[in-house]
Structure 1
């Protein structure tokens, strides 16, 4: 981060330079530390110089999101839809793991940024090119939710939401207390089933990457079956 900031200081200030410096700052110290004053300090300029390139902090955050989303691998033309979708989602996940503040920043926007809209549009295009109807694609995008962008709200580990801020590493979930385990035996059972040996390369708790890919593959396989069946929303049971 220090070397990147030094390089940016030597160049004339530009919108791209401001956004990339803001991304580097958020990567290094968390999104909570980001302010126009701190960013100006890192760039070696007065705060007012930033406003020539971004109108306010909201515009800064939008631009930062677009910088991050631009790192996702582009779509592969003429590829099998399932392989193409899986590859891009896992690429998005790698990108967001490099920028752990980005998922919450994306969720905080009242409107998706241009880069996010472009990414989503290209994913819809991949489904459509793979033989999906517009109706099925609509429901698929709902089912995928934020997973289409490489992240998901974890059901059993609320600390992962805090971990996205970049301030702390998420801790593995702990076992249910005995009284809770007795009251909720099925939850206790799957909590125990998800635990790994202490010697495991991922440590105790759930392997986050494995769980993400497991759910992603379940969704993709189910979506393919619906496509083959010619599913439409009129098939819903009433």
Structure 2
């Protein structure tokens, strides 16, 4: 109920009261099961995290982690409220722990230390969430125009030059993969 509400109307539409109302009960009844909005969003992220299919994660560490990132991006695009939640708080629920475990499996044969492994997985998730949040924002503002007057007045000549050189939209799939691979290679992962 909460996930479908967030998917269709955004995370701001989700509250204990709204969920209780949709279930035909009072908020006090729901508070017996869910103590707070933070707990509710944690449970929502956990449920969405069950959409990962870790059986596809094979091959070298970089390929396994890239597969996890691709899946994360797909899941976050399907549930556009997830990236912001992921960036704002750490969720430690069963499916979130399965994500962490799979990342550690991928990194098990690398030379990274324990703290570096955990940091790498956290950064992988953060890069994925940030990139997806950017994509979602671009989708929401597609077609809206921004006044070009400040550019034309010459206040920002470099920006005007670059904007004038854009012929085709950027391939976001390639840009996403390049961002992930570049980070992982920078960490020494192959």
Per-residue Cα deviation, 1:153-196 (whole angstroms, up to 9, x for no partner):
58xxxx938839xxx813378678232431xx2x5555455551
1:219 alignment partner, SS class: helix
92 and 221 in structure 1: CA distance in 2 versus 1, 3 angstrom threshold? same
215 and 191 in structure 1: CA distance in 2 versus 1, 3 angstrom threshold? farther
Higher helix share: 2
Of the candidates 132, 151, 156, which is equivalent to residue 177 of structure 1?
Answer: 151
Query: Is this contact kept in 2: 1:146–1:152, CA < 8 A?
Result: yes
Of the candidates 23, 31, 47, which is equivalent to residue 67 of structure 1?
Answer: 47
- Tell me the CA shift for residue 87 of structure 1: 1.0
Aligned residues: 184
Query: Is this contact kept in 2: 1:160–1:170, CA < 8 A?
Result: no
206 and 43 in structure 1: CA distance in 2 versus 1, 3 angstrom threshold? farther
Counterpart mapping for 1:24-35 below 5 A: 24-35=4-15
- Tell me the CA shift for residue 49 of structure 1: 2.4
TM-score, with structure 2 as normaliser: 0.76
Whole-Å Cα distance in 1 between the matches of residues 43 and 175 of structure 2?
31
Q: Which has the higher contact order (CA 8 A, sep 6+)?
A: 2
188 and 211 in structure 1: CA distance in 2 versus 1, 3 angstrom threshold? farther
Per-residue Cα deviation, 1:97-116 (whole angstroms, up to 9, x for no partner):
0000111112222x433243
Query: Is this contact kept in 1: 2:131–2:176, CA < 8 A?
Result: no
Query: Is this contact kept in 2: 1:26–1:33, CA < 8 A?
Result: yes
Whole-Å Cα distance in 2 between the matches of residues 113 and 143 of structure 1?
16
Q: Does residue 1:97 correspond to 2:77, yes or no?
A: yes
- Tell me the CA shift for residue 24 of structure 1: 0.8
* Unaligned stretches of 5+ residues in structure 2: none
100 and 77 in structure 1: CA distance in 2 versus 1, 3 angstrom threshold? closer
| CA radius of gyration, larger in | 1
Q: Does residue 1:132 correspond to 2:103, yes or no?
A: no
Two-structure CA RMSD over aligned residues (Å): 3.3
- Tell me the CA shift for residue 44 of structure 1: 2.3
Query: Is this contact kept in 2: 1:128–1:134, CA < 8 A?
Result: no
